[in-house]
Structure 1
Amino acid sequence: MDVLADVLAATRFSGVLLAQLRAGRPDWGCGLEQLPTAGFHLVAEGTCWLRTRGRPPLHLVPGDVVLLPRGEPHELAGAPDATAVRYADLESAHPPGRDGVMDLGGAGAAVRIVCGKFSYEGEAGRHPVLSVLPEVIHVPGMSADPDLQGTIRLLAAETGRNRPGARAVATRLTDVLFVQVVRAWLELREDDGGDGGGGGGEGPGPSWLTALRDPRIGTALSLMHEEPQRPWTVESLARAAAMSRPAFARQFKALVGSSPLAYLARLRIDRAARMLRDTDELVGDIAQAVGYASEFAFSRAFSRQRGIAPGRYRRTVPEPVGV
């Protein structure tokens, strides 16, 4: 079981292209307020600067990608000290054309930045992937892996052409870009001994995402995602991971940040929430499908984690975040 793919599918995670910024002068600046979900910027041409609170300005060059997993307020600018104008005001003064480009003018060396965000179903700020990533992830295009470089080049090319289907192709590529950026961040963490280096530093702490890099704990996570309905115990998971029970419990808690059974309980409720949203199956059948012996036990567990009963949740599913 591909755990990351399962989590993204469960939350209907998808990319959305917003606009492109183009400028031919160094005195431009664009300020973006807090977003309810993740945002990203890809420098397709030229250079610019990213400014975020509490960090020095970051120089971005062609091929660089910046991911802001929780939509932190930030500014893009043509120079480290250029004055930033609110995005809404820039959009009003320079409406995007039919190609989606917001042209800020200027006859000098051009910079073109592809901007987008991601939507998902669930509660804002609690996405199981976004919530465990650092506030800013910077992946330099020149040092990225060949697969990511290929996606960056293709996305930059598709957004720079007025060809049939270009926007559809570019939108699909944003999903690929997200996964590859997360992979690059995980690899940077491992190469730098866990601090992430140029990838944006550490996330909030231990998580299932970083634990996937451990072959034994990753095996246990995969098994739970593949068959959450099985009556897993710490002992059975430890056997599957070829570890003793005490060693497995300690290692799982250290890497994931919760006990194996606490993780399993959340996984079951998340899977049940997905079934409540996407199917017409009876609540009792869903309870059995995710490993609960009775509808009553499932309803109690669901209400405890989600703060709402399963039936009511089905009737009042919130709108996707970031749409």
Structure 2
Amino acid sequence: MGVLVLAELDNGTLSPATARVVAAAAKLGAIDLLVAGPRAAAEAGATLAGVAKVILATETVLADGLANLLAGLAPGYEHIAAAASTTGKDVMPRLAAQLDIQPVTDIVAILGANRFTRPIYAGNALQTLTDAQARHVLTFRASAFRPAAGGNAAPIETLDATVASAARFIAAHRTESDIPDLATAQIVVGGGVSVGSAEGFKLIEALGRSLGAAIGATRAAVDAGYAPNDWQVGQTGKIIAPDLYIAVGISGALQHIAGIQGAKKIIAINTDAEAPIVKIADVALIGDLFDILPQLTAELEKRGLKG
């Protein structure tokens, strides 16, 4: 029996998280990718290395419908996996309940067919566990894995099934943006409450644009109304693992540190040389962010023009 992966969709298109989950799940066996959405998304999924077949199903955005769809396919698979995203955290526990299985969630490393590593205690420790069940329901922290390569041409099989749901979809409200996806971005610029205002966050955005980076924020900055909810990084926000994280005006509360522990390099810009974020940073710029950011952005843009 193989591996069934639920594709992550964003407004009808394949999310970057899907390629990362596919790369992770490929360590467990040949993958069938379930796409409950448009054919274009299925065609994009068919190009991912490690995908043996794409199953194209009736489009649904409701968690109970997706769980029912996966439950119907479950007998043919030993592993059923999804990203540890908003969708995955909603769908996979429902599926596990239907199958009477204990799910293994937020996996950051695969040590064997039934042996996994996951963070616990708000990311302050890593737990290695063995799942002795005959079937495994898994969610992967997408940011912990590199994306699967392209160039594949897997066949697409259309699933002729009606998706049952007890709920009714009313509307979706989206924040439109041209910046990279925060959960999978390689560079992230994050701002804290010290930025002082939504106007101040425009300096964060300007630096982000010069780097092609995603924008993040602490919970305090979001609660203060300086940044939208979907920018929140931390234990109660998004967990990220970029190659570079630039923390601007962020003290480094434990809840925020839990969300950025996977960052490979951290640059801290702060007036307080004793701030927790400064102590774990690879590089620290001590000074007023309102002086440093404009200079840094201007220098990056100048170098970009020369480039």
TM-score (normalizing by structure 2):
0.28
Q: Which has the larger radius of gyration?
A: 1
TM-score (normalizing by structure 1):
0.27
Structure showing the higher helix proportion among its residues: 1
Structure showing the higher strand proportion among its residues: 2
- By relative contact order (CA 8 Å, sep 6+), the higher-ranking structure is 1
